[in-house]
Amino acid sequence: RISYKQAIAVGLFQCLALWPGFSRSGSTISGGVILGLNHRAAADFTFIMAMPIMMGASFLSLVKHWDSLSSDLMPFFIVGFICAFVVALFVVRFFLRLINKIKLVPFAIYRIILGVILLLI
């Protein structure tokens, strides 16, 4: 169970992703954990919260490029959508299982080391 206060605060952590180098899912999962959620609840909420954002972005892209779409291209878009959806389901399920086993510490260490290396380069 996530309170409205926690949900709003996690949403504010999502704003960190506006800066280059910040992962949207990483910032919201970390924000959820900081706010007292367990890793699984924070990850579940992050992926649930991503759905309206991704659907809105897809809709805006579709509207923006509507003129360049033709009926002969629709089968490609439909197959692409279905493939992307199925692969995303598997990846999310894999990630949620992984996060239950190893938490976020290895990912955080990797990101810090990579950031230092990139700063030095």
DSSP one-letter string for 9-70: HHHHHHGGGGSTT--HHHHHHHHHHHTT--HHHHHHHHHHHHHHHHHHHHHHHHHHTGGG--
19 within 8 A of 27, measured Cβ to Cβ: no
Q: What percent of the chain stands above pLDDT 90?
A: 24
Q: What is the pTM of this model?
A: 0.67
Instruction: Give the pLDDT band of residue 74 (cuts 50, 70, 90).
Output: confident
Helix (H, G, I), strand (E, B) or coil at 114: helix
At 107, list the tokens: 């990912």
